[in-house]
Structure 1
Amino acid sequence: MSDQSSPQSGTRAWEQVLARLEQMLVAGEVRPGQRLPGERALAAELGVGRSSVREALRVMEALGLLRAQTGSGPNAGAMIVARPTGGMSMLMRMQVAAQGFPVSDVVQTRLVLESEVVRTLAARRPAPGLDAAVELLDSMDDGALSASEFLILDAQFHVTLADAAGNQVVAAMMAGLRESIEAYVVGGVDAARWPTTCARLRHEHRGLIEAVEAGDPQLAERRILDHIRGYYEGISPCA
């Protein structure tokens, strides 16, 4: 059994395994919570070596698509897990670190996605799922929070709004985008100006929720755009 690339397709053996696993997911042959066939079975089916199967599974585990259990018995093997943001966040962090995604592009994409999120929420009466977002804002009123702690809650607030809007792809993308520049965001904090910045962010968050609850998509969009641009312009000319 060979681990060499297919002479017809030119793909490497582990890529063939990934393609087969993708087919199984799309076809519903495996779902989150289910275990994949064993290495031996996959290797035999695809005509590749078990080392190629292991390599493909390691890639999927790194992307947050499965969890591998070593040993034997009913709990051994690789299980599909539902964690779509894990792989996206990791890939975006690596792209930003390698300067493949400029921070300015990440910010611009946030503007596009979050505008759609708040328009969608404001157009629904009453706006759904805002309780979790408001609870986060209440937590962010704690004056004892450090800047990094505040910004973690800030990121969760924005992703919670995306979840409430009901588009899981947008929510996953937003989580990945924010995590991809987390170090940049935290590193851009001016300690001397932070109390003023923090107070402004709290005010803007509350104003955004008010616009959504008022059912005003245009106002909600204007406030989210001003909010995102204002923060990044305060720490860099990137946006």
Structure 2
Amino acid sequence: MTAGEAGAAPRGRTHDALLKDIEADLRSGRIKLGDRLPGERALAEAYGISRASVREAIRVLDAMGVLRRSVGSGPTSGAIVISDPSVGLSSALRLHVASSRLPVADIVETRILLETWSARAAAARDVSDEDLVQAAGLLHAMDNTGIDRATFHELDARFHVALSSLAGNAVVATMMESLSGSIVGYVKGAMGAMEDWPEVLAVLRAQHHGIFGAVRARDGDLAARLLEEHIEWFHQQAKAATGGAVPDPNGSAGSLPAG
């Protein structure tokens, strides 16, 4: 039985207690995806904590991607249960990458492990042409001759996530999206520092088409090899462009080693 079922709880409960209670209610099915939580006052009374603690818990759950807060009043206000795990994971990883606790090189290596596994798993599942529509659309968009670097990077990240999702593993897909988000600033900064961007862009496009062709041909081993070569190649280009420093996405490079 959760605190919501038990009524008022002992004094001194904090937002951590509410987080545990909401977790229990999600597990039991009392709270489900798409549900809108009651207002602050109702939550404070139901869970036996202060309204300030309720606000803090809602902020934490919003940052974790469990809830989406909406402002205003009336039937459309309040927090809705959405459960987007990549949001919280990506934010946490990005901060730890920024602190140099998680080296970019280790993020890159983990991406290789996940993406090569996904390529082989997707081939084993014998994905259909219909499953490839999203990746094909992103590939086509990246071929736009007038595309800018920021847009290309966004499409590139989505392309890799789309390919990884073909493995049919929700945890791997979430981890891929989170890893991609964790180094978004690093990649954007590196792209901005590349003086030979047109040449780099041509290679990236060719690599993407080769990877997609292998995936479409259900050749998991070839797709895995091409993915590894592609990811490692770009990482080396990024290091060369920034002198091994962690670049600022606004154009300057920091002094911390990228790994």
What is the TM-score normalised by the length of structure 1? 0.87
- SS of 1:68 mapped into structure 2: strand
Q: Which of 173, 176, 198 is matched with 1:174 structurally?
A: 176
Deviations 1:73-121 (A, max 9, x none): 3333321124332222222222212223221121111111111111112
Is the Cα–Cα contact under 8 Å of residues 3 and 52 in structure 1 kept in the other structure? Answer: no
Deviation at 1:216, TM superposition (A): 1.8
- 1:91 maps to amino acid: A
The 3 A distance-change label for structure 1 pair 232 and 126 is same
The equivalences for 1:183-222 within 5 A come to: 183-189=185-191, 190-222=193-225
Partner of 1:134: 136
Partner of 2:88: 87
- 1:35 maps to amino acid: R
Please tell me the root mean square deviation across aligned C-alpha atoms, in Å.
2.2
The 3 A distance-change label for structure 1 pair 227 and 127 is farther
Q: How many residues align?
A: 232
Q: Which runs of 5+ in 2 are unaligned?
A: 1-8, 245-257
- SS of 1:130 mapped into structure 2: helix
Partner of 1:231: 234
Partner of 1:4: 12
Q: Percent identity?
A: 41
Is the Cα–Cα contact under 8 Å of residues 14 and 53 in structure 1 kept in the other structure? Answer: yes
What is the TM-score normalised by the length of structure 2? 0.81
Is the Cα–Cα contact under 8 Å of residues 122 and 211 in structure 1 kept in the other structure? Answer: no
Distance in 1 separating the partners of 2:233 and 2:135: 21
- SS of 1:101 mapped into structure 2: coil
Q: Bigger CA drift: 104-113 or 42-51?
A: 42-51
Partner of 1:114: 115
Distance in 1 separating the partners of 2:136 and 2:198: 21
Distance in 2 separating the partners of 1:136 and 1:49: 47
Partner of 2:159: 157
Distance in 2 separating the partners of 1:4 and 1:127: 55
Distance in 1 separating the partners of 2:170 and 2:29: 19
